[in-house]
Structure 1
Amino acid sequence: MPMIVDPSAPQITPPATITSPDGWLTAVIDERWAGVVLAYDAATAATARNLVLNPSFELTFTTGTAGFGSNNTRSRVNTGAVIGSYGVQHAISAAGAAGGTSWTIAPAAAGQTVQVGVYVKIPATGVAALELWWRAGTTTLHTVPVLAQATPGSWARVSGSYTVPAGQVCDRVAAVATASAAGPVTWWADAAMAEIGPELHDYIDGTLPGCAWEGAPHASTSVRLSSAPRLTEIRRVRITRRDPGAEPVPVRSADPAWAVEGVGQAYDHEAPLGVPVVYTATPQYADGSWGPSTSLGLVVPAPATAETKDLWIKSVDEPGLSMRVMLGAPQGTSSAGRQDTAPRTGTPYTAIAYDTASAPSETVSVDVLADQIEQFRRLIRSGVLLAQVRPGYRTPDRYFVPADVGETPTGKLGSTGGYTVTFDIVPTERPDTAGQPMRAPGWSYDALSTAFGTYDAVIASYSSYAAMATNGAVT
């Protein structure tokens, strides 16, 4: 039987896990079944934490900050601040003297790397040195020169990092300038940030959108929140899929899915193959209102050009029966017209009433290996099916319910290598998705109870409900 190939079809190696930018929606491509595991979790961890207690001087510059240098006069000024309305001005009155600001931070322990970033504005002349300091009380643990990072006459963020040594605790950071020999100099600072970790994030404090103070405003650490608003009020999540050139359609097991307190799962085995699609998840609150949406994009791989099994036949209700088989030579499609005609008196022309033509149907032959024929027989009679091929065939995905099915052995009985199976694909509309349960191949509560003797064993085996519901596909 001739094999149909498409030399132009791209070879796609998808990433193991795709996550939306805010972290709420995660997708794992299930290549074995050409499906997608989807997990919604609106309670993701904070993405950044600013340890500086009073980072931008909005209420005061005497709480949580202190001046450094006997020849340094600090003033809280409300012109040209980077964040909010206020910054701090340093007037160093003597040539060669140092002056700056020290900020109190939530203590960083030994072994932790403290990233520091401060916005500074220095004049074109007059500053001989500019440094960031890491301190334990009044003891300076480390300094980093940052004058080269500054932009004279404009605000610029200077930064550095330091790992706290054994036996020490870092509880303050500072920005300090040294006046040149030319004499007094004035410079400014604002928006200090210190965080523990391998990288310094964009500045945050509790006044910014999506951020919050962890204690008193302008006197505590602050975090950038990544959880969805009203997290504990979330009850369901609706996930849609947008295919190329089409309107979004609901994912069958997420129209909607349960997502109590922002955690829910779905499985989609109907995405088109080899083309980019976009999934969008929107939470629904207990009062029926909807929350903010989150989206991600991915490509479910189509059968490669070298694969002889180039047709997916998927069961809508039992995805674990789905199979890839080898498509036979195309026999062409036909589309029946829907017309009523009547002769008209006094004219050679006929009156025609017409409607939308029926969807193109075709007779299909596929090759099925002998050791897979029993599964194929269950599949072909499992209800509504979905037929999918690679994009290069220019054949749309089609839902259908087979009527007559014919089988012909491809060899002598008893030594056959398989069967040629013939059936008609007469397209139907996509079955309704509302309220459908999650159906993942080979995984259900019955499978869970078979695999584990006790609920304690389940807890010991999975790190989260999402991991259990998806059999470890999403952690």
Structure 2
Amino acid sequence: MPIIITSGDIPPDPPVESVSPDGILTVRRDDTWAGVYLIADYASDPDVARVRFVRAGADAVEVPVRGGDLAWAPGGMAVAYDHEAPLGVSSSWYAYPVGWDGTVGARSDGAAVTPPEPAAPRDVWLKSLVDPALSMRVVVLAWPTMEYAERQERFDVLSAASPVMRVDSWSLATSTVTLETATLAEREQLLALLQSGTTLLAQTRGEYGRPDAYWVPGKITESMPGPAYDPHRTWEVTVTGVDRPATVDARLRVPGRSYDDSAALWPTYADRTSTGQSYYDVTTGG
């Protein structure tokens, strides 16, 4: 029988966690950091040594997950963290088991979730691919232009009115972005992120028409618009678009779950083991 939907019905919230129909793959949103935990369970198959995690959107194109290309599977359990999943749209994740001899097994069924978009005013995520704990939501005051440079060579030919032109691929966009920080702590965090020397991922709301972009920050200009005692800052940052860095053999990075974070809570191994938590519990949050 049909389901009747009235104008007053409120659609349910998208799921925070999803399990693939075959029970192998669990995906869990991490809204704090706008990422997704991926957990593959091959405990019943002793031949599985590693797991390759991939993500697919509406176009069904498989994209390898950083830190999960490949991921070790001690005891048949493999974990990855997708810090680059598109925001505000549904994606599906899959797992490929890889045996000790390198043989790749059949793909698991998919599991899907929708990571939420950032809300105003901090409606842009700047994410570090190497240290996700540096990632932060920022206030963007201006992002007015995106410049795509041409790569052309011109050859003037004697007695010919028209030159010969050789055209190569156009470059990715270069932009100047104006950011804002309100506190000294935010200032230090933004500087650490911009000066980390690594490629950053910029993500914002789909309605703004700005697709996800990988940036290398360049010149940074810091301004103090208020009096000297006011911690408020504005920043002009030149950024250059680059291709997504390779994922093969990239290490697993989970924001807030590094060895430094662990040591702050449990300085010694005895402190750690007394909790009864396994490596899997600590990595995934239990």
Instruction: Please report the TM-score for the alignment, with normalisation by the length of structure 1.
Output: 0.54
- Where 2:142 maps in the other structure, the secondary structure is coil
Task: Tell whether 2:191 aligns with 1:377.
Answer: yes
Counterparts of 1:141-152 in structure 2 under 5 Å? none
* Alignment partner, residue 29 of structure 2: 29
The answer to whether the 8 A contact 2:53-2:95 is kept is yes
Deviations 1:354-387 (Å, cap 9, x if unpaired)? 0111112211111112231011100111121111
Shift of the alpha carbon at 1:456?
A: 6.0
Shift of the alpha carbon at 1:463?
A: 5.7
Shift of the alpha carbon at 1:16?
A: 2.9
Which of 91, 99, 122 is matched with 1:309 structurally?
122
Which of 328, 340, 346 is matched with 2:159 structurally?
346
* Alignment partner, residue 50 of structure 2: 236
Counterparts of 1:286-325 in structure 2 under 5 Å? 286-294=100-108, 295-304=110-119, 307-325=120-138
Shift of the alpha carbon at 1:450?
A: 3.9
Task: Tell whether 2:252 aligns with 1:438.
Answer: yes
The answer to whether the 8 A contact 1:236-1:259 is kept is yes
Shift of the alpha carbon at 1:454?
A: 5.5
Kindly, what percent of the aligned residue pairs are identical?
37
Deviations 1:26-83 (Å, cap 9, x if unpaired)? 111111111111111123xxxxxxxxxxxxxxxxxxxxxxxxxxxxxxxxxxxxxxxx
- Where 1:448 maps in the other structure, the secondary structure is helix
Q: Distance in 1 between matches of 2:154 and 2:220?
A: 34
Q: In structure 1, give the amino acid aligned to 2:246.
A: D
The answer to whether the 8 A contact 1:12-1:301 is kept is no
Q: Distance in 2 between matches of 1:246 and 1:390?
A: 22
* Alignment partner, residue 262 of structure 1: 76
The answer to whether the 8 A contact 2:220-2:236 is kept is yes
Task: Tell whether 2:243 aligns with 1:429.
Answer: yes
Q: Distance in 2 between matches of 1:334 and 1:12?
A: 41
Deviations 1:227-253 (Å, cap 9, x if unpaired)? 5xxx01111000011234362121110
Q: Distance in 1 between matches of 2:127 and 2:85?
A: 11
Deviations 1:438-466 (Å, cap 9, x if unpaired)? 11112123433442356565455356542
Shift of the alpha carbon at 1:395?
A: 1.2
* Alignment partner, residue 395 of structure 1: 210
| Gap change, CA 1:25 and 1:335, over 3 Å in 2 | same
The answer to whether the 8 A contact 1:303-1:390 is kept is yes
* Alignment partner, residue 466 of structure 1: 280
Q: Distance in 2 between matches of 1:351 and 1:264?
A: 55
Q: Distance in 2 between matches of 1:310 and 1:387?
A: 10
Shift of the alpha carbon at 1:469?
A: 2.1
Shift of the alpha carbon at 1:13?
A: 4.0
Q: In structure 1, give the amino acid aligned to 2:208.
A: Y
Gaps of 5+ in 1: 1-10, 44-226
Gaps of 5+ in 2: 1-10
Q: Distance in 2 between matches of 1:369 and 1:244?
A: 38
* Alignment partner, residue 330 of structure 1: 143
Count matched residues.
Answer: 273
* Alignment partner, residue 251 of structure 1: 65
* Alignment partner, residue 40 of structure 1: 40
- Where 2:102 maps in the other structure, the secondary structure is coil
The structure with the largest alpha-carbon Rg is 1
* Alignment partner, residue 219 of structure 2: 404
| Gap change, CA 1:397 and 1:462, over 3 Å in 2 | farther
Q: Distance in 2 between matches of 1:439 and 1:242?
A: 21
Q: In structure 2, give the amino acid aligned to 1:339.
A: Q
Give the structure with the higher percent strand: 1
| Gap change, CA 1:12 and 1:394, over 3 Å in 2 | farther
* Alignment partner, residue 8 of structure 2: none
Which of 282, 286, 310 is matched with 2:96 structurally?
282
Q: In structure 1, give the amino acid aligned to 2:111.
A: L
Counterparts of 1:217-228 in structure 2 under 5 Å? 227=44
Counterparts of 1:62-101 in structure 2 under 5 Å? none
Q: In structure 1, give the amino acid aligned to 2:149.
A: A
| Gap change, CA 1:446 and 1:303, over 3 Å in 2 | closer
**Cα-Cα RMSD:** 2.0
